[in-house]
Every structure is written in C-alpha cells, then in structure tokens.
Amino acid sequence: MKIVIFVLMGFMTVMGLYGQKQTSGNPIFPGWYADPEVAVFKKQYWIFPTYSDVYEKQVFLDAFSSDDLVHWKKHPRIVDTAAIKWAKRAMWAPAIVEKDNKYFLFFAANDIQNDNEIGGIGIAVADKPEGPYKDYLGKPLIDKFYNGAQPIDQFVFKDSDGQYYMYYGGWRHCNVVKLKDDFTGFIPFEDGSIYKEVTPEKYVEGPFMFIRNGKYYFMWSEGGWTGPDYSVAYAIADSPLGPFKRIGKILEQDTTIATGAGHHSVLQIPGKEEYYIVYHRRPITETHGNSRVVCIDKMEFDENGLIKPVVITREGVKPVKLK
C-alpha cells in the first residue's frame, strides 16, 4: 500500500494540478533501458541507451530525442546486428560523437570472455543522430583484453585541444587510448604505449569524463550491476591521463525510491553552469537484473568544485529548452 501511495504522489507531482506534464518524471521514458549516453545535437537533447534484456535479445539499439528534457520521442532500432555482421548479441553502452557532419556510434558487442572470441568495441556511422547506422570498420576497433580490461563500456572524450580519447573497460580495469582523427585506430602515447591503464580505486566499469574550470572529472561505476550496491564515484585530475585518486560516491540507491543507481553520463546545458546526471536504476518494485530504467536528476558542485551527492527523485527535472 505504501508503495502505491508513493507512486501516485510522484505521478501527481509530475503531472501538476491540471494534468500538464510539469517535470520529466523518473523514468523519463518507458521500457527497460540502461547505460544512457546523453548528448546535444542541433538544439535537441539525445539519449542513446542499452536495451536492457537477456544478452541474446540485446541485438539492437534505440535512441530518444527531446526539445526540453521532459517530452521524449523514441527512435527505434537505429542500429542492429543485421548492420554489424560480426555482432551477435549483447550490444551495450553506446557512446556518440558528432564529427565532420557524421555521427559515430561506439558500442560493445558479444560480451567476449577471452582474446579468442569474436567481439569487443565497434563503431557505426550515420548522417543523422537517429540513423540508420552502418558498420564503420567492418570489424571491432578493440577485440582483445589489454591490461586486464574487458573491451566494453567505452566513452569517447574530446579534450580542449581537439584530441579524442576513449576510456573503456570492464572486469575492474580501465584503459585510455588516443584515437586517430578518423577513428580508424590509435595514436601511441609518448612512451610508445597504446593502451594506458588508468584504473582508480574501486573501479568496476562505465567510465565517463568531462572538463570543468580546467579540471578533469573522471567518473565510473562501482559495485555489481544487478545488485543494490551499484553506484557512481569520481576523481578530479589535472590531465586526461590522471592520476585519478578516488574522492567518493556521488550517486547511489535510495531504498524508498530505487536501487542499483549507476552507469551514467553527464549533461551540461550549453553555455550555462547547469549540469544533469542521466543514469539507470532499478525500481524498488523490481528484482529482475535487467529491470532497469533511465532517469535524470540535477548534479551540483560545492564551492570547492566537488560534486555534491545526487538526490535521486521520482519527479526528475523541469523543462529546459535549448537556445
């Protein structure tokens, strides 16, 4: 009975007194989705998530667009395993980059367990954010384990000097690589290495990076993705290569709302000191490992530039139009 009352109260808050949608609500769109990547393209917000189901059914990716963070439009099946011939299952954790009037969608596929299996991190390309996407390389960009990192959960970061880096890795190891300008391979670091390990304390998966006031904020997920302890922590460094010393958690469960809050991305409203965290969580009414939904909440900083713990909500956020 208490759960029903909480849900009804949250719904009434979202819809307002006369039924108009006042806030996004959480989840922000229906369906089982996880690992959301948020971006801004052509004065629209976009979210590219994992379709959350058993691995054999994770054979496509959907996308969602919005003009205001509140109302979302679904773009179904922007890419699937029919377009990526080497991918058979477990298409995960997309990362999106707009470059040279093209959209490059990085993804992981097949959940490989060793260097002899086919799969890893690939790239698809399209002329529009909603696709359709086609295979860019015809093979994985990374298909082996380096420094113990499973080739999954990639995030592509553009530094202030224009250099693109890709952070990736499961199995409690995180690597960074320097991408060639055309994304066909990698540029060696000064010491000649290609895959540089940057694993911080308690790292599990889901890396993310952004710059604020000249500092590099590196974030990741901790805990088990099917469990209540899934969460997000972060570090701050002076370089995109670290070192990344763990500061603490900023996103975790609230047992009155949801568990397993993690694998996120960060949205900064262009030109404003206004930040939001987009993440997945498991409703308290659910126990299935894949019962994950995409949510959004505000992310704020204190006077020292540290990230304040995020308050997860049922209401979500108010409308924010792009100028």
**Catalytic machinery residues:** 35, 205
In eight-state DSSP terms, residue 106 is: E
Residue 85 tokens, joined: 């011939």
**Going edge to edge, which strands form the sheet with 44-51?**
33-41, 44-51, 60-66, 72-80
With 0-12 / 13-18 / 19 or more C-beta atoms within 10 angstroms meaning exposed / middle / buried, residue 157 is buried
Contact 158, 149 (CB under 8 A): no
Q: How far apart are CA 34 and CA 216, in angstroms?
A: 25
Q: How far apart are CA 36 and CA 93, in angstroms?
A: 7
Say what the alpha-carbon torsion angle 229, 49, 113, 240 is, to the nearest 10 degrees: -80
With 0-12 / 13-18 / 19 or more C-beta atoms within 10 angstroms meaning exposed / middle / buried, residue 270 is exposed
Q: How far apart are CA 292 and CA 312, in angstroms?
A: 15
